[in-house]
Structure 1
């Protein structure tokens, strides 16, 4: 039987896998115990040791391990990092291989499943094309991306599929929340209703609940939804739902037997949504149009249905017809149960209630407000602090940053008036600003004496109330934050514009409609790299020592050290009270504008004695002026230096490789930050080793860097150049140039760029994805070693002989051998010039066709082997068994 060996996970090195000291893995009686259930081995449930752990956590029951893995959601040990290996167990009567007809049956079923997925997509494309929004999206896609009508319709169908997924996600979450808060009422639908419509409605509703269960099971596999549902119900209700009961679909599921559960569910969801929201209204609208034509009323009815050009759409007319029929059905039900007199009585009572209800509700509301006036006042104050203050700060920050984008104030106001929801972004930016100020206040109060902040609100005071207005504090917050934004944002931007008017506005790729799709993907890739976390981790450790050094230096120069600086040897400095207040500490501080006291109050009786010097006020003012100037200069340097370095990098790249593309300042900023960080770290490293006299280590590092640079230059220059020439000879010339014309001369740069793109795509697919068809097992092992091991630790001879030499030899042989055959052998055989020219032009495409045929044959063989294994497992596999861990498995 086959054993599916496990891959070593990162972080599971040998030093972690085999600890030096082993604890006792037995109980008091000397019996091995399971690490999870702490029970000994049983005759029908033996103990296994599936990973490199030793001691008391070495052994485990297979059932306990499977239960733990299902709950945790991964397939490797959390301690040693080794992946678990499972061996399939087959029945005793299992043959060595399946018969040919059973294998072909499995291949046909899987082909039908693929066809089913294609039909689902085409069905969505067709249904969405019936709606005016679908045609509008297709036209917009064709205009923006410049694609054909068919491809634009497919893009619109993809958008519609995403809308279906979104709607079912909302439906599943709503059902989960309602059942969580209002109880879980399981209604048994047996289809017994009075009339055909109720019975069909109950069946359709039951099928809809089954599809919601299926979608719910898929949602909990996504981390964010799993976290949300687990937070709503800590009892792990997300795991209590069983598999969706698709057999309840009856004959529909039997007819579509060749589809698996997921394909069938996707088809059912698409049909549900499309039928009730697109197909049924469309055909009903067509039927209305046909009836109007029959009765020759189209000319009279069309002006009534043509508002905003939507009345001519069958789908819109179908919506109106469905609403009318539903209303008529409800009226007929009401008339069948009540008399005309009862209906008139109910209508009169309803009109009377509608007339008196607003006055009654207004009276009740006024009474409630009067009784809870304090609650209204507190709510107003909290809205002012938590809503209005961050919104004002965000709007002011946006106003200060207008010169960066060269946006007029009138245009920004027009944008806000058209899209008021953008005010949420201003509120969010205001909250981020308050959070940054709070972190700065924590840093400042760690250095200065506590009595300097006697005028600030003490949010750690037990008598503090967040619902008090504090008018003076509120006005001080506005003045402080406004002046701070002017100092660190507005004035630096104005200074930069004054010195270099062409520095702004910033350039972004997303502003270019030609590459909008690619730019969005590039920005998503940048966000996934985590530059914000990297920048925060880089800046935070350096801010505190720099700020402390600045404060100590300026205070000693102005002779204010005794008054300003904290004497940590004499005073018991209390840390901020986040732990005492919990999560309310952050809310209180940000509600008060983050300009608060965090350490408790201190007596200020000696304050007048400290300021007895006549020059004290002048010194404090001079220190504040120096602080303002320092923040101003640091802000200018932080804006200008990374952007200049990033733009210089882009200009140098575009000078060498003329892309014809503008640079992007967002990428330029991060590239500049990386270059500055690398330069600083390199300079510090060199200075430190020269200082301690380790020039030999520096020399070794320089030689290692030269080796890496040579290998890297080979990888990005020689190999892509030969690969690009092969692509040129095999694909571009045969497709673009007829045989009776001379081939065009392509530049070396274009060929190198094509080869570099193809090489990187092949490397990425082979190293970072599960796609293994583009490389042999030997190449997969080589690339896996390169990915897992540090580059400096890889032997140079192994890289040259086992990695670079086979690639270069294969490419050179593929280029040289056809050249020798076409330009030396065929002319010597006495063929005519036309034959020689055809051979010279077609020998590389023929070689490519042979390679493709061999590749397709290999894929076909692998496909048959895979289908054979899957069908064999479906028929004769009775379970799997976890294998014991051995050192030979690791070394192999």
Structure 2
């Protein structure tokens, strides 16, 4: 059966068999029977049919209109089967001249230049407004509000536009605007979170009253005996039943406006809900309890009806405005990139809103905190960050006053103000908690880590205090960054542990991978005391791990291996090796190789699993630590015992609060379980100390030995020695893995592995020298001759060559050039680089890489290096220049040659633009249409039209 191409409305191409193939030898004449002369898209045979590609059979011919529609739909330019690119021949008017008049081209150039000038003026005005005027005004208004009194502002308003410290104020204003925009977006998002998922009893008085009524004890029976609904779990059952009844009634109301199919679906869903959510009917025989449930359901239904009516009313009032705003306002119109001057109004609004934001969210809390601290006599004693301290103190005071006012307003039954104050308090509460979690806690971890690592750098606490006093902002930022990195990697390690350990072992830590985990929502719902308790627990846990990882191992090192400490972290040295930026090699060669091919996550997971297995076997806790998924895979899930879980509502509450996987894996609890857990913690501490001790000692020693063996230098930054040490350890580990594979393989596998690694070694060695040595050296040398030598040296100075430095700089430049090429347009160089990247190490083609990538690039760069030398030598021979003049000429010939080469490329680019301009003018004035070109083998002829009458 032949291939069949469906029309565009069918959604794709349907290939039924492979009998239809691309036949380049097919005759161009339509010799097929009449039943094959049909369009591949519409399957019709009327009108003009074309054969634009290599395909034959029933998909050979196509209408031009159908193909154009299909190409617009598929967004492709080639045939999906034969990959032949379709071509269209333009059709021009008969009076079109062969060569466009110079007046037409000049007119087009003038119009293009006018459009460019207009665009440049518009973009300049927009950039001056948004990147100059707005930040400058924001910084000046901030300074006026905080540092000038009201009398000073009234007496000298022109200080706002003085030209002193403009660059500083613009930079400061950009930071303030970024804070303003982020805060504004966060406030809008947080308000929606509070309204949708916040505690309704804290926002609505009616819900608060209902909760108080529901918390009252239920009435007992007349005989004084407790019924089945007297406990807490039965109250939760009542709520679930009420929600179930609400869902049934709401589904019944909604189904009246739907068709019969929707009603059947809802009936089926109702049956599922009956089986899943409805409590036991035997427990609902008490008439009083049924009445109470009915009243509660009616209250909930009325409340939801009122909320639905309010939401519908708001939507009816605002939908026209929002639709018009979405149609009119775009990013181009908002920023002014469309050419209109409406953006000036937006600039004014941004400045005004920023002023209001500064006064409301910065100045007012600052004044509150400043007044309270001044009254207490503490403000004058604050040596660092007095403004920030006053602002935070003001927020705490405002939050306290808001909470008290919220309670008073609730007692006075003022619904709107009660809701406003509730939202305001929750926003301030979330802001303070986020500041503690993301700001204060990482700074505390960073400072504690700095204190614990003082022996590592042979520093003292007084030196750290002096550093903080000299630059407090930078010190706080560095400690915050170090703390954030530590917290991030600690969280990543905990996530890895959850994949290994049995569900329930880490019950005391939150599961960050839980899709239901929402920290902002927890900050909204949970009380501040709960968060404070979590902060204390987290601080204790993190500080203890920092002690085990840093302080105790470093203390042991000072006793056992004092020659390893301190680490050399001095950034200044007199040797050429330290003068060279070796961090480029660490960042560009060592770290990418280690991170990409070391499989650190897999190795850590394997080591932790083995450790848990052996230690668990030793302490008889292996069933407690490790997950036994294979044993539980086919085990049926046992339903919970009746009455053991507190009823259906308790199960739902457990599901809502559960942060662990739902699958329960039982374990054997041995005797003296608490003692065994304590011993497990001791083993964990000892393992952590030994691992950290090995990481502090082994890599630096290996790195120092390698650096000394290569350069005979000892005063090298420790980041280089440590990085080289880890790299050597990684190579040893990879070699050990290969040896283990050889040891565990049989004879056939041995031959396969020997051939694999031998082939890889030969290919790697063949490509290693040109790619990793010659090419970076040539690139670095060319960069030195073009940029550094002419700029750094005077006429009487002689350039000194450092091949090692040129090679190191060439490595970085080669990677930058490769990234730029990959981001640029399609070219042969980009194609070859993509082939090397996609092939990977196992499929590395050394021959193709050498002859189609490395050698052409080396020849081109070598020509750039050799051409100025040859030219200067020929010129010196012909003119008889002296050696000094020849060297001076050679020194400046490289940048001159580069400028000429760039000018030639620029002229070529401009010629292409002129050709495109001429083609566009010709198409605008003389183009009638386009005609699909038939495929003709080795023939470039005009369009041949096949007509079927």
The TM-score normalised by the length of structure 1 is 0.50
Task: Tell me the distance in 2 between the aligned counterparts of 1:785 and 1:394.
Answer: 44
SS in 2 for 1:717: helix
Q: Is the 8 A contact 1:405 1:504 kept in 2?
A: no
Task: Tell me the distance in 2 between the aligned counterparts of 1:829 and 1:525.
Answer: 47
Q: State whether structure 2 residue 736 is matched by structure 1 residue 683.
A: yes
Q: State whether structure 2 residue 817 is matched by structure 1 residue 762.
A: yes
SS in 2 for 1:183: helix
Q: State whether structure 2 residue 632 is matched by structure 1 residue 632.
A: no
Task: Tell me the distance in 2 between the aligned counterparts of 1:813 and 1:583.
Answer: 75
What is the CA distance between 1:633 and its match in structure 2? 0.9
Q: Is the 8 A contact 1:34 1:40 kept in 2?
A: yes
Structure 1 residue runs without a partner (length 5+): 1-16, 25-29, 70-74, 138-149, 190-204, 219-243, 247-260, 282-356, 454-458, 460-465, 510-517
Q: Is the 8 A contact 2:590 2:727 kept in 1?
A: no
SS in 2 for 1:491: helix
Q: Residues 534-683 of structure 1 correspond to what in structure 2 (within 5 A)?
A: 537-538=601-602, 541-542=605-606, 545-546=609-610, 549-550=613-614, 553-555=617-619, 572=635, 588-589=657-658, 616-617=671-672, 621=675, 624-634=678-688, 636-637=690-691, 641=695, 645=699, 679-683=732-736
Task: Tell me the distance in 1 between the aligned counterparts of 2:651 and 2:594.
Answer: 28
Task: Tell me the distance in 1 between the aligned counterparts of 2:637 and 2:651.
Answer: 16
Tell which deviates more after alignment, 730-739 or 473-482: 473-482
Q: Is the 8 A contact 2:699 2:722 kept in 1?
A: yes
1:120 to 91, 115, 126: 126
What is the CA distance between 1:763 and its match in structure 2? 2.5
Deviations 1:10-66 (A, max 9, x none): xxxxxxx99998799xxxxx99x999xx998899999999999xx99xx99976886
Task: Tell me the distance in 1 between the aligned counterparts of 2:53 and 2:570.
Answer: 52
Q: Is the 8 A contact 1:734 1:842 kept in 2?
A: yes
Q: Which residue of 2 is the match for residue 101 of structure 1?
A: 106
Q: State whether structure 2 residue 496 is matched by structure 1 residue 491.
A: no
Q: State whether structure 2 residue 228 is matched by structure 1 residue 183.
A: no
What is the CA distance between 1:687 and its match in structure 2? 1.7
Q: Is the 8 A contact 1:172 1:212 kept in 2?
A: no
Q: Which residue of 2 is the match for residue 338 of structure 1?
A: none
SS in 2 for 1:264: coil
1:858 to 895, 908, 916: 908
Q: Which residue of 1 is the match for residue 410 of structure 2?
A: 365
Distance 1:436 1:598, change over 3 A: farther
Distance 1:170 1:270, change over 3 A: farther
Q: Residues 315-330 of structure 1 correspond to what in structure 2 (within 5 A)?
A: none
Task: Tell me the distance in 1 between the aligned counterparts of 2:712 and 2:565.
Answer: 23
Task: Tell me the distance in 2 between the aligned counterparts of 1:163 and 1:883.
Answer: 60
Q: Residues 842-881 of structure 1 correspond to what in structure 2 (within 5 A)?
A: 842-868=892-918
What is the CA distance between 1:180 and its match in structure 2? 11
What is the CA distance between 1:100 and its match in structure 2? 0.9
Distance 1:136 1:487, change over 3 A: closer
What is the CA distance between 1:730 and its match in structure 2? 4.3
Q: Which residue of 2 is the match for residue 790 of structure 1?
A: 840
Q: Is the 8 A contact 1:393 1:430 kept in 2?
A: no
Q: Which residue of 2 is the match for residue 264 of structure 1?
A: 339
SS in 2 for 1:641: helix
Task: Tell me the distance in 1 between the aligned counterparts of 2:636 and 2:838.
Answer: 47
Task: Tell me the distance in 2 between the aligned counterparts of 1:866 and 1:651.
Answer: 62
What is the CA distance between 1:104 and its match in structure 2? 0.6
Task: Tell me the distance in 1 between the aligned counterparts of 2:794 and 2:532.
Answer: 79
Tell me the number of residue pairs that the alignment of Structure 1 and Structure 2 aligns.
Answer: 646
Q: Is the 8 A contact 1:576 1:599 kept in 2?
A: no
Task: Tell me the distance in 1 between the aligned counterparts of 2:347 and 2:626.
Answer: 69
Q: Which residue of 2 is the match for residue 808 of structure 1?
A: 858
Q: Which residue of 2 is the match for residue 111 of structure 1?
A: 116
Q: Which residue of 1 is the match for residue 771 of structure 2?
A: 715
Q: Residues 70-149 of structure 1 correspond to what in structure 2 (within 5 A)?
A: 93=93, 99-113=104-118, 115-116=120-121, 117-124=123-130, 127=133, 131=137, 133=139
Structure 2 residue runs without a partner (length 5+): 1-12, 21-34, 144-162, 193-310, 356-401, 455-459, 509-513, 515-521, 559-563, 572-581, 641-648, 939-949
Q: Is the 8 A contact 1:51 1:885 kept in 2?
A: yes
Structure of higher RCO (CA pairs closer than 8 Å, 6+ residues apart): 2
Q: Is the 8 A contact 2:452 2:547 kept in 1?
A: no
Distance 1:431 1:860, change over 3 A: closer
Q: State whether structure 2 residue 451 is matched by structure 1 residue 403.
A: yes
Distance 1:124 1:441, change over 3 A: closer
Q: Is the 8 A contact 1:86 1:881 kept in 2?
A: no
Deviations 1:814-850 (A, max 9, x none): 4445434544663465456776566555544543343
Deviations 1:289-344 (A, max 9, x none): xxxxxxxxxxxxxxxxxxxxxxxxxxxxxxxxxxxxxxxxxxxxxxxxxxxxxxxx
Task: Tell me the distance in 1 between the aligned counterparts of 2:538 and 2:639.
Answer: 22
Q: Residues 352-391 of structure 1 correspond to what in structure 2 (within 5 A)?
A: 364-366=409-411
Distance 1:826 1:584, change over 3 A: farther
Task: Tell me the distance in 2 between the aligned counterparts of 1:762 and 1:626.
Answer: 53
Q: Is the 8 A contact 1:400 1:485 kept in 2?
A: no
Task: Tell me the distance in 2 between the aligned counterparts of 1:576 and 1:529.
Answer: 51
Task: Tell me the distance in 2 between the aligned counterparts of 1:109 and 1:758.
Answer: 38
Q: Is the 8 A contact 1:125 1:156 kept in 2?
A: no
Task: Tell me the distance in 1 between the aligned counterparts of 2:330 and 2:800.
Answer: 58
Task: Tell me the distance in 1 between the aligned counterparts of 2:82 and 2:313.
Answer: 41
Q: Is the 8 A contact 1:62 1:881 kept in 2?
A: no
Deviations 1:742-769 (A, max 9, x none): 5333433344444444433332212x11
Q: Residues 388-467 of structure 1 correspond to what in structure 2 (within 5 A)?
A: 401=449, 403-404=451-452, 444-445=501-502
Deviations 1:244-270 (A, max 9, x none): 699xxxxxxxxxxxxxx84536x7536
2:869 to 819, 842, 845: 819
Distance 1:874 1:159, change over 3 A: farther
Q: Residues 22-101 of structure 1 correspond to what in structure 2 (within 5 A)?
A: 93=93, 99-101=104-106
Distance 1:656 1:804, change over 3 A: farther
Task: Tell me the distance in 2 between the aligned counterparts of 1:394 and 1:737.
Answer: 47
Task: Tell me the distance in 2 between the aligned counterparts of 1:734 and 1:39.
Answer: 68
What is the CA distance between 1:784 and its match in structure 2? 4.0
Distance 1:211 1:876, change over 3 A: farther
Deviations 1:60-81 (A, max 9, x none): 9976886798xxxxx899xx99
Q: Is the 8 A contact 1:89 1:880 kept in 2?
A: yes
Q: Residues 221-236 of structure 1 correspond to what in structure 2 (within 5 A)?
A: none
Task: Tell me the distance in 2 between the aligned counterparts of 1:566 and 1:719.
Answer: 53
Q: State whether structure 2 residue 557 is matched by structure 1 residue 500.
A: yes
What is the CA distance between 1:588 and its match in structure 2? 1.8
Task: Tell me the distance in 2 between the aligned counterparts of 1:885 and 1:494.
Answer: 77
Deviations 1:798-827 (A, max 9, x none): 333333333333444444454345446634
What is the CA distance between 1:400 and its match in structure 2? 6.3
Deviations 1:653-688 (A, max 9, x none): 7986999995669x978x987876664344223321
The TM-score normalised by the length of structure 2 is 0.48
Distance 1:164 1:752, change over 3 A: same
